[in-house]
């Protein structure tokens, strides 16, 4: 018990005890996942169902969620309310019960025994509340609406009707069936994502974020708007591995945002640039924050196929951002950073030459030697630890105690994805049990009027709404189940469909009103979060257009002849330049009025791929001609202004 500032007696689990228990659960979660990936039970001669392992890890996740994530904001040292502690313990016990009794339950579950009903009800209810705490109300509302449909769908008109489903059958199915909570979604989240979360934790604590920031400083700092280019490059390098836009902002933004403000960028612009740069790392090969591996699993294609498809969209994303910060810096008169403030590239590489090696080995092992994705992530983590102990970044070796704490903290960092995967399992289970999975595809196609463009617009909006406050991996899993089948049915390729939903799920990180990455950056910049969010939308304008282009044109996903791919990339790149000139209002000098509109028209015409529709190639031709005319007029006017004597 603790006396609050108001004199009221607070009851609950004291903070020291809560922290100790949570550390134990985090350690057990991390060790259990590592042991499973390394197949230690198999070597020990123990045999388990995969679902027993999933249930146990979910139990750890639920316990941590109720211990560490409060129902409402409270001070870090405040006691954990007893109701939260009891809920966490109930989740741990219920999942452990399934883990122990699953071999027997799997044969009895069809009869819906009382213990199965009670345990399933506990797990379903606790997942919903934990989802509310970790991901917000949006996903909870989706789950509850689907529950209501499952129970009342047989009363609806023929278009929406489903078969009658008993409440206890729904609970047991969701809590114990392999097509629901204990299914593929949770398995991927645990077996694939958690090892990559561990890798990101180890990378951060061994100086990886500092190395990538230093590397970006050495390479970009001396150029116009160098501070912003450091932010973009550093965030891209670290973000493709870390897999979390918010943690990327926290790791890199603490260095780059003050630097951008010092060089002359407004606070909200500095926050926006960092947020957009950090978010895009999840799209950038080769690691893509583990999403590449998830996509390969769900699409049943090779990892290399995903990397190839992701390359051009990622290139266009960062090209647009680089052009944006370059023109904005020119408009504001921001020069490069002084050389005496920048590290020498040779020195950065001398101290951190080993950081890329684990990731090169990871990619090569997966692509050419058939190494399992999760095992490759553990190998990379082990190499990072070995290099740290042998060399240390700038001769600063991270103590073993801190390395162990980073590994243990993987459990805490995994709470969101575990709970969201559990909620996604509830969604998938309900869709399967009611038959709505097929019906939803038909309904989306019907609402869109069989128009692919309208369907894509609807999908983009749904992705951004569902993605509010959720990690990209979680929203991708959900959208790949709910929405991607409709896109595929409409004629869009499976790869393009999955890339599209992943891309817009990612963009929810910088799209108001939530824009969680922008708000995290605004906190560092000391500015209004909403202002930073709208600035991020403007800075990342092209990111809202590119997904429509690759959904309609396979050439932007490296599908087609080399000539068509090169032409599409070239015209899209010039189109991005034209569009960014219009957005910023600057080329080599200020661009105003009608010229900005014409530059945007030229940009949009060139961004339309030549294979989007019949005769679409002419849009490129018209756009190129218009861009050439506008560029010529712009530099001619600049020359005239320079020749005109000042009065």
Tens-place pLDDT, residues 404-427: 999 999 999 899 889 988 998 998
Cα(171)–Cα(163) distance, rounded to whole angstroms?
Answer: 16
354: pLDDT strictly greater than 90: yes
Mean pLDDT along residues 212-226: 87
Predicted local confidence at residue 289, as pLDDT: 63
590: three-class secondary structure by DSSP: strand
Residue % of the chain over a pLDDT of 90: 38
Nearest residue to 102 via CA among 37, 32, 54, 38: 54
Over 80: is that where the pLDDT of 328 sits?
yes
Is the distance from CB of 572 to CB of 311 less than 8 angstroms?
no
What pLDDT band is residue 21 in, cutting at 50, 70 and 90?
very high
Give the DSSP letter of residue 337.
Answer: P
> Is residue 56 in some structural domain?
yes
Collapse the DSSP code of 134 into the 3-class scheme (helix H, G, I; strand E, B; otherwise coil) and give the result.
helix
Task: Single out the residue in 96, 116, 137 at which a domain terminates.
Answer: 137
Q: Which residues contact 150 (CB under 8 A, 6 or more apart)?
A: 162, 165, 170, 430, 433, 434
264: part of which helix (H) or strand (E)? none
Task: Determine the pLDDT at residue 469.
Answer: 67
Q: Which of 458, 433, 432 is nearest to 443 (CA)?
A: 458
Task: Tell me if 589 is assigned to some domain.
Answer: yes
pLDDT at 436 over 60: yes
Here the tokens at position 322 are 């680089």
- Given a contact cutoff of 8 angstroms between Cβ atoms, the answer to whether 263 and 338 are in contact is no
Structure tokens at 439: 């019906």
Winning range, highest mean pLDDT, from 31-45, 182-196, 479-493: 31-45
Region 623-642: mean pLDDT is: 88
H or E element that contains 2: strand 2-3
- 373-390 helix and 356-368 helix, angle to the nearest 10 degrees: 160
CA-to-CA distance for 306 and 291, rounded, in angstroms? 9
The domain boundary, picked from 104, 120, 137, lies at: 137
What does pTM read for this prediction?
Answer: 0.83
Q: Lowest mean pLDDT: which of 8-17, 211-220, 381-390, 601-610?
A: 8-17
Mean pLDDT of all residues belonging to the chain: 87
Residue 10 pairs with which residues in a beta bridge?
2
| Contacting residues for 62 by C-beta, under 8 A, at least 6 apart | 88, 91, 92, 95, 123, 126, 127, 130, 419
**Assigned domain for 48 exists:** yes
pLDDT at 401 over 90: yes
For residue 53, the 8-state DSSP code is H
Reported as a single tens digit per residue, the pLDDT across 93-136 is 999 999 999 998 888 888 889 999 999 999 999 999 999 998 88
Q: Is the pLDDT of residue 9 over 70?
A: no
Euclidean distance between CA atoms 283 and 307, whole angstroms: 10
Q: Distance from CA of residue 620 to its chain's centroid?
A: 32
Assess if residue 217 is contained within a domain.
Answer: no
Taking residue 511's Cβ as centre, other Cβ atoms within 10 Å add up to 27
Confidence grade of residue 611 (pLDDT, cut at 50, 70, 90): low
d(CA 529, CA 537): 12
- Distance between CA 409 and CA 368 in Å, rounded? 32
Closest listed residue to residue 203, CA positions, set 394, 377, 415? 377
Name the residue among 251, 245, 156, 254 with its Cα closest to residue 209: 251
Say if CB 481 and CB 502 are below 8 A apart: no
For 38, residues 6+ apart whose C-beta sits below 8 A from its C-beta are 375, 378
Residue 581 near residue 591 (C-beta atoms within 8 A): yes
**pLDDT at residue 186 is higher than 60:** yes
pLDDT for residue 577 is more than 50: yes
Which residue, 77, 103, 137, sits at the end of a domain? 137
Residue 391: burial class (beta carbons within 10 Å; 0-12, 13-18, 19+): middle
What average pLDDT does the segment 626-640 reach?
89
What CA–CA distance (Å, rounded) separates 575 from 601? 9
Whether 98 maps to a domain, the answer reads yes
pLDDT at 3 over 60: no
pLDDT at 646 over 60: no
Half-sphere exposure of residue 58: CA atoms within 13 angstroms, side-chain side: 38
| Residue range of the domain that includes 114 | 12-137
- Listed in sequence order, the residues at least 6 apart from 603 whose beta carbon sits closer than 8 Å to its beta carbon are 575, 576, 577, 578, 579, 580, 581, 582, 623, 627
Q: Is residue 386 part of a domain?
A: no
pLDDT tens digits, residue range 54-105? 999 999 999 999 999 987 777 777 888 999 999 999 999 999 999 999 998 8
Q: Are 610 and 616 contacting, i.e. CB atoms less than 8 angstroms apart?
A: yes
Instruction: Give residue 1's pLDDT.
Output: 46
Whole-angstrom distance, CA of residue 618 vs CA of residue 605: 9
Each residue of 299-311: pLDDT tens digit? 888 888 888 888 8
Q: What are the residues facing 586 on neighbouring strands?
A: 590
What separation, in Å, do the N-terminal and C-terminal C-alpha atoms of the chain show?
78
* Predicted confidence (pLDDT) per residue in 235-260, tens digit: 888 777 766 778 788 878 888 899 89
CA–CA distance, 617 with 608 (Å, rounded to integer)? 8
Task: Supply 59's token pair.
Answer: 């139990």
Q: Which residues touch 322 (CB under 8 Å, ≥6 apart)?
A: 229, 232
What is the distance between the alpha carbons of residues 362 and 372, in angstroms, rounded to a whole number? 10
Q: Is residue 266 part of a domain?
A: no
Find the helix or strand (DSSP H, E) in which 224 lies: none
- Please check whether residue 171 is in contact with residue 147, taking contact to mean a CB–CB distance below 8 angstroms: no
The structural domain count of the chain equals 2
Question: H helices then E strands: how many in the chain?
Answer: 31, 2
Q: Give percent of the chain with pLDDT exceeding 70.
A: 96
Q: Is 603 a member of any domain?
A: yes
Instruction: Report the alpha-carbon distance of residue 545 to residue 504 in Å, rounded.
Output: 10
Poorest-pLDDT segment among 75-84, 234-243, 344-353, 535-544? 234-243
412-428 in b/e burial notation, b at 16+ Cβ within 10 A?
A: bbbbbbbbbbbbbbbbb
Is the pLDDT score of 150 beyond 60?
yes
């Amino acid at each position: 018990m603790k006396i609050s500032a108001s004199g009221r007696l607070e009851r609950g689990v004291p903070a020291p005890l809560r922290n100790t228990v949570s550390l134990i659960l985090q350690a057990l979660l991390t060790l259990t996942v590592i042991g499973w990936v390394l197949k230690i039970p198999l070597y020990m001669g123990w045999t388990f169902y995969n679902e027993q392992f999933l249930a146990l890890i979910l139990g750890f996740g639920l316990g941590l969620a109720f211990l560490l994530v409060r129902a409402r904001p409270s001070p870090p040292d405040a006691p954990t309310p007893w109701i939260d502690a009891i809920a966490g313990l109930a989740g741990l016990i219920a999942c452990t019960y399934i883990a122990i009794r699953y071999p027997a339950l799997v044969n009895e579950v069809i009869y819906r025994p009382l213990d199965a009903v009670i345990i399933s009800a506990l797990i379903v209810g606790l997942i919903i509340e934990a989802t509310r705490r970790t991901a917000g109300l949006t996903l909870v509302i989706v789950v509850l609406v689907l529950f209501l449909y499952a129970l009342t769908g047989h009363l609806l008109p023929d278009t929406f009707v489903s078969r009658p489903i008993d409440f206890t059958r729904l609970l047991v199915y969701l809590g114990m069936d392999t097509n629901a909570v204990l299914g593929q979604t949770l398995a991927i989240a645990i077996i694939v994502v958690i090892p990559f979360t561990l890798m990101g934790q180890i990378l951060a604590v061994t100086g990886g974020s500092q190395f990538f920031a230093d590397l970006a400083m050495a390479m970009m700092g001396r150029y116009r708007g160098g501070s912003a280019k450091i932010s973009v490059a550093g965030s891209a390098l670290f973000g493709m591995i870390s897999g979390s836009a918010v943690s990327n902002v926290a790791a890199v933004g603490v260095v780059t945002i003050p630097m951008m403000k010092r060089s002359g960028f407004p606070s909200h612009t500095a926050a926006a640039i960092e947020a957009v740069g950090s978010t895009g790392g999840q799209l950038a090969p080769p690691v893509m924050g583990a999403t590449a591996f998830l996509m390969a699993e769900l699409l049943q294609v090779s990892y290399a196929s995903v990397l190839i498809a992701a390359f051009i969209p990622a290139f266009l994303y960062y090209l647009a951002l680089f052009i944006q910060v370059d023109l904005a810096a020119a408009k504001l008169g921001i020069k490069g950073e002084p050389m005496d403030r920048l590290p020498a590239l040779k020195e950065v590489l001398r101290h951190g030459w080993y950081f890329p090696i684990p990731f090169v080995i990871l990619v090569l092992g997966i692509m050419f030697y058939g190494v399992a994705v999760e095992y490759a992530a553990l190998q990379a983590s082990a190499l990072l630890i070995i290099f740290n102990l042998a060399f240390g970044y700038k001769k600063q070796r991270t103590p073993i105690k801190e390395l162990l704490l980073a590994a243990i903290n993987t459990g805490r960092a995994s709470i969101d994805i575990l709970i969201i995967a559990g909620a996604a399992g509830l969604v998938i289970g309900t869709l399967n049990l009611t038959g709505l999975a097929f019906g939803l595809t038909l309904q989306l196609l019907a609402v869109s009027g069989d128009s692919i463009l309208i369907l894509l617009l609807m999908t983009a909006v749904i992705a951004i709404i569902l993605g509010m406050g959720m990690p990209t991996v979680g929203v991708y899993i959900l959208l790949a189940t709910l929405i991607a089948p409709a896109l595929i049915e409409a004629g869009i390729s499976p790869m393009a469909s999955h890339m599209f939903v992943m891309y817009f799920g990612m963009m929810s990180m910088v799209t108001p009103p939530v824009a969680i990455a922008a708000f995290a950056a605004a906190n560092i910049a000391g500015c209004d979060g909403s202002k930073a969010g709208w600035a991020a939308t403007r800075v990342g304008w092209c990111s809202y257009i590119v997904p429509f282009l690759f959904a309609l044109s396979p050439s932007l996903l490296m599908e087609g002849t080399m000539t068509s791919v090169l032409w599409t990339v070239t015209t899209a790149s010039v189109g991005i330049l034209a569009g960014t000139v219009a957005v910023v209002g600057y080329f080599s000098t200020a661009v105003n009025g009608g010229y900005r509109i014409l530059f945007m028209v030229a940009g949009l015409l060139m961004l339309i791929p030549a294979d989007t529709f019949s005769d679409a190639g002419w849009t490129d031709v018209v756009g190129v001609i218009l861009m050439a005319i506008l560029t010529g007029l712009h530099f001619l006017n600049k020359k005239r202004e320079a020749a005109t004597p000042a009065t």
